[in-house]
Amino acid sequence: MRFDDRMCLIVLGILLIMAGISNTYYVCYSASVGYPPDLSYYSDINLLVSIILMYVVGVAILLARNRIVLRQAAAMTSVVIGVWYLGSLPQSGLDPLDFLGCVLFTILGATLVVFGVLLFFGKTRDATTISYMALLIVAYDVLQYIVDSWECSIREFFTEIIFLNGANTVLFFFFAYVLLRPGIRIPGMITVMTNNARRVMDTEHSAPDTYLEREDLMVVLDMIKPSENGVGALRSERSVTLHGSQGNRVLELRRWDGDEVLRATVASESGSLNGYTFGIVQAIPRNGGFEDCESVRFYDEDGFFTDINIFDPPVSYKDSLAAEASA
């Protein structure tokens, strides 16, 4: 099973709910034995609000997984984590190192909240820096686990440290992974140049006599039309054949509800990939209309295009008699 955006939404929702359960138990456990030092850093209001948000956002993501995109879910998760760390307000009685840690975590929380709001409304898409910050949180937690393991028994380590804090660490790690997925993370200039060069090479290695049959062209044109339904669900999936002297290839077409771009993947007839996945945003007929053109120019999201010949298969004598009879 392919780990796509919809699967990421499900995992993210489950992890948020698990973190909410873990932190709820953390509060109850701490109240029964007395607050441990690390929990005393957090204000009661922020702690309560962040736990409630974990439940609410987690359930909302699971219920609306077919109507929201991964970017929106990542934005809401960023706000939840940010509110959690906004509770790390410096308090009196802390040693200088703990005081500095509270200041840094408060700044981190504010940054995550602002980033989440901007990402949700589409005002920013560069999530690389935030993902690295989330990974630093994970590294800090892992280091804290190592230090705590030296000061307690194995039983206490797993029941009082890993069980109470592990869900947060897993959530932060998966949150960092989500921010690095395509569609959220903006690739660097070198990555863009490499991908574009590969596209050019793939185009140059295509046989000049590659063609689509006209009925298959109509299938592609129908799937290019944008959907007006919700975002996230797979609306349709079709495949057409690219014919050529170097052998036939399959053009796999997938259309997601609410996505403005038709996703296409070139594969061999045996099913193995023979190129790359790209988006088709526009098709322009050449030397006529779509019903009688000799070729069609397909444009992708970055302005690259490729020309595909259009071929009408010969009509058999039997088919011609049937057409005349129906006329």
Please give the average per-residue pLDDT across 128-135, as a whole number: 84
Contact 174, 11 (CB under 8 A): yes
Give the separation between CA 256 and CA 223, rounded to whole angstroms.
Answer: 10
Give the separation between CA 266 and CA 293, rounded to whole angstroms.
Answer: 23
> How remote is the C-alpha of 67 from its chain's centroid?
14
* The pLDDT of residue 133 is above 70: yes
* The pLDDT of residue 38 is above 50: no
pLDDT of residue 58: 92
Q: What is the helix, strand, coil percentage profile of the chain, to 5?
A: 55, 15, 30
Q: Which tokens go with 224?
A: 């290019």
DSSP reduced 3-state for 273: strand
Return the residue matching tokens 């440290």: 161
Sheet holding 273-280, edge to edge: 234-242, 249-256, 262-268, 273-280
pLDDT exceeding 90 applies to what percent of the chain? 7
* The pLDDT of residue 192 is above 70: no
Tell me the pLDDT tens digit for each residue of 8-30. Answer: 888 999 999 998 888 888 777 66
Please give the average per-residue pLDDT across 65-69, as a whole number: 77
pLDDT of residue 17: 92
Tell me the pLDDT tens digit for each residue of 200-254. Answer: 555 444 566 788 898 998 888 888 876 555 445 566 788 888 888 777 888 888 8
Greater model confidence, 325 or 50: 50
Contact 286, 294 (CB under 8 A): yes
Average pLDDT, the chain: 76
Please give the average per-residue pLDDT across 118-141, as a whole number: 81
C-alpha distance across the termini of the chain, in Å: 49
* The pLDDT of residue 41 is above 50: no
Lowest mean pLDDT: which of 6-20, 136-150, 190-204? 190-204
